[in-house]
Amino acid sequence: MFCFQRASGAEFRSQSPLFRLEEFCHGLLAVLLLAALPLFAAQPLVVCTSGNCTVTISGSGPAAGRLRVNAQGPVTFEGGVGSTLAYTVQVTVPKRNAAVAARELAGSPIHLERRGEWTVLAAPATAAGAAVTIKAPRLSGLEISTTDGPVQVSHIAGDARLTAVSGDIRAGQVDGTLHCTTGAGRISVQDVRGDAVLESSGGDIAVTAAGRGVRAETGAGGIHIGSAGGAVTAVTTGGEIVIGKAGGSVTVRNIAGPVQVGSASGVHCELASGGVRLANVAGPLRVSTARGSIMASFLGSHAGDSFLSTGNGDITVTIPSNLKVTIQAQDNMADTLKRILSDFPGIAVRREGTRVVAQGAVNGGGPLLQLSAMGGTIFIKRGK
């Protein structure tokens, strides 16, 4: 088909009707290309603005109780919507590539099938990467795997497993358990009612609320957990770890970065470098840092033996008036007896060679509290 012969240079740019005619022919060419596709292929919608075109293909089908999605681009999922599964696949490309993208989508449409209790949705592979948006009824299970994120989900009635080779993962409300894995991206979770296992090779991890336990591990990044109903494990090679409240014990490993725990039934913390701040701890403490200060306050109901150690920094412990403990403290490179300062007269401080040691019972004595510093100062304070 012949539309016109294109003018060149300034002559073409000055002829706006001719320019509009060329645009019309480009659009007509795309339609003809689509018309040549197999009959079973859905026809994409092409919308062009500002030099780019968005190619969209949509569809729907019945939904089983569980959904598995395999994609190669961004995935957005919303549950609890309607009675059928509806999907939209979009590719945004430069205008000159619109016909090619349309052929790719129509020639390799989204694949939707039922496998027992699972609906399996496979997105088409395109050179530009296809973004998938899905809306579905309440599901008891969701699995999403993509080679190129991000992944964003919300309103999951059951369990969810989200995997992105690269890209961020964001989860809204998940009523069951949640497992997230990303090769290079941030993980953000708003509200998970069950356990959460979150793994990133190099990105921050943030959880606003978890109904049960949380395990968060990142190769390099910070970890922030607002509250968890169970035990918490947080591991990073470098970054701040902040845990607001844990219903169980807290286990932390960090190579370089500070740690803060607002409330927990117990804490086990190992740091190569970084300070530690612990509050409202009701159970045993085992905290060690090669470089950094430690501050810990205990609850009156605290139970179990505890050990706090720093290779270079101060240690400050606050003991409430109704807590019974037995103190054993030592500063291994002390230049003065004032390296151990206590608000409790029953704790005797003395020198042993290059060390300053102190021991004694507080409020009649109880579980053992051992404190060890290397050249810093140990403060034993009386709380309310």
Specify if 120 maps to a domain. no
110 alpha carbon, distance to own chain's centre: 29
Specify if 18 maps to a domain. yes
**Nearest by Cα to 56 from 22, 20, 101:** 101
Residue 351 CB partners (closer than 8 Å, separation 6+): 334, 337, 357
Domain housing 7:
1-36
Specify if 67 maps to a domain. no
For position 96, what pLDDT does the model report? Answer: 84
For position 108, what pLDDT does the model report? Answer: 65
27, two tokens: 């659009």
H-run or E-run covering 11:
helix 9-13
Specify if 276 maps to a domain. no
Residue 238 CB partners (closer than 8 Å, separation 6+): 220, 221, 254, 255, 256, 257
Specify if 373 maps to a domain. no
- Identify the bridge partners of residue 235 per DSSP, sorted by sequence position: 217, 253
For position 27, what pLDDT does the model report? Answer: 42
Number of compact structural domains in the chain: 1
Q: CB of 187 within 8 A of CB of 200?
A: yes
**Nearest by Cα to 367 from 300, 310, 314:** 300
Tens place of pLDDT per residue across the chain (384 aa) = 223 233 333 332 333 333 333 343 344 333 333 333 232 335 688 888 888 888 888 888 888 999 999 998 999 999 999 899 999 988 888 888 888 877 777 766 678 888 889 999 998 777 667 899 999 999 999 999 999 889 999 999 999 999 999 999 999 999 999 999 999 899 999 999 999 999 999 999 999 999 999 999 999 999 999 999 999 999 999 999 999 999 999 999 999 999 999 999 999 999 999 999 999 999 999 999 999 999 999 988 878 999 999 999 999 999 998 999 999 999 998 888 999 999 999 999 999 988 999 999 999 999 999 999 998 999 999 998
Q: What sections of 14-157 are H helices per DSSP?
A: 16-35, 98-107
For position 42, what pLDDT does the model report? Answer: 54
Specify if 2 maps to a domain. yes
**Nearest by Cα to 163 from 135, 132, 193, 187:** 187
Specify if 11 maps to a domain. yes
For position 127, what pLDDT does the model report? Answer: 65
CA atoms within 13 A on the CB side of 92: 8
Specify if 112 maps to a domain. no
